[in-house]
């Protein structure tokens, strides 16, 4: 049981480049989400999904797209990277959208945009 | 955007001392969670509290939920170097939807041997 996996672990991009951060879970969880973590800012929700085919915006969605074609996968796409998107990105999953459910986090992707 | 304040932001103490970390909001939580995060890893859930006045213990860690469900505290007794890490509280506000948790900015805790 791998839990929540994220790839890559580290990434450096130039301004304007695009890329996809991968996230997968093997726990058959319905709810998945993406957060970014910045110094002094805590974790902020980017996008979330309550099930396959359903996604919605969180607190800071601009510049990011998501899709949920399967229960297992929830990729995050940066369309045109900007230095302000330099951050550590965490994917999380939980059994349901119940807000007292345990959130299982992946190990994170550290992204630097030059 | 709901705000969830954590204090202190940084705390460095000697092994064996006790400490308390606080999490406060002006709004009512339907539930509150505490997570611990180590460098290079994602947060890991320690506890969930849902009932006002609830107290939960996890070995040397004691978690308390305020009677009005607007605040919470984490108390560590006889801190050990293994307790070092970033402690995050995360709240689900009453009336909120499926849009995730609101996280505090965290308390960076260092336990000196």
Confidence of residue B96 (pLDDT cuts 50, 70, 90): low
| Mean of all residue pLDDT scores within chain B | 92
CB contact under 8 A, A99 and B92: yes
Q: What is the mean pLDDT of residues B76-84?
A: 97
CA angle B26, B28, B32 (to 5 degrees): 110
**pLDDT of residue B1 exceeding 90:** no
State which residue of chain B sits closest to A105, comparing Cα positions: B42
| Å between B43 CA and nearest CA of chain A | 6
A-interface mutation test, from B42, B58, B102, B108, most A Cβ less than 10 A away: B42
Confidence of residue B60 (pLDDT cuts 50, 70, 90): very high
Q: Are A25 and A92 in contact (CB under 8 A)?
A: no
Q: What is the mean pLDDT of residues A49-77?
A: 95
| Mean of all residue pLDDT scores within chain A | 94
What is the model's pLDDT at position B95? 60
The larger pLDDT score, comparing residue A41 to residue B54, is at B54
Expressed in percent and rounded to 5, the helix, strand and coil fractions of chain B are 5, 55, 45
Q: Hey, what are B98's tokens?
A: 């499926």
- Number of C-beta neighbours around residue B1 at 10 A: 6
Confidence of residue A57 (pLDDT cuts 50, 70, 90): very high
CB contact under 8 A, B92 and A100: yes
How many residue pairs from chains A and B have C-beta atoms closer than 8 A?
A: 66
Q: Which residues contact A15 (CB under 8 A, 6 or more apart)?
A: A81, A82, A83, A113, A114
Question: What is the spatial distance between Cα A40 and Cα A45, in angstroms, rounded to a whole number?
Answer: 15
* Per-position DSSP letters for B59-113, written without gaps between them: TTEEEEE-TTSSEEEEEESS--GGG-EEEEEEEEETT--SS-PEEP--EEEEEE-
**pLDDT of residue B100 exceeding 80:** no
What is the model's pLDDT at position B29? 86
Q: What is the mean pLDDT of residues B42-49?
A: 95
State which residue of chain A sits closest to B51, comparing Cα positions: A100
């Amino acid at each position: 049981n791998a839990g929540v996996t994220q790839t890559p672990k580290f990434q450096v991009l130039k301004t304007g480049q695009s890329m996809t951060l991968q996230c997968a879970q093997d726990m058959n969880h319905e709810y998945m989400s993406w957060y970014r973590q910045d110094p002094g800012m805590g974790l902020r929700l980017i996008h979330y999904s309550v099930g396959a085919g359903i996604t919605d915006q969180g607190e800071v969605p601009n510049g990011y797209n998501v899709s949920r074609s399967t229960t297992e996968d929830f990729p995050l796409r940066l369309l045109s990277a900007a230095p302000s998107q330099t951050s550590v990105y965490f994917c999380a999953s939980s059994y349901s959208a119940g807000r007292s459910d345990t959130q299982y986090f992946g190990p994170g992707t550290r992204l630097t945009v030059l | 955007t709901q705000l969830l304040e954590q204090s202190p932001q940084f705390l460095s103490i000697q092994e064996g001392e006790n400490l308390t970390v606080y999490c406060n909001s002006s709004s009512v939580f339907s539930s509150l969670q505490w997570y611990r995060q180590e460098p290079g890893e994602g947060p890991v859930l320690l506890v969930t509290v849902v009932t006002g006045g609830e107290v939960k213990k996890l070995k040397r860690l004691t978690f308390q939920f305020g009677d009005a469900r607007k605040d919470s505290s984490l108390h560590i007794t006889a801190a050990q170097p293994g307790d070092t890490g970033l402690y995050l509280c995360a709240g689900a506000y009453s009336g909120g939807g499926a849009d995730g948790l609101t996280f505090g900015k965290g308390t960076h805790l260092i336990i000196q041997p």
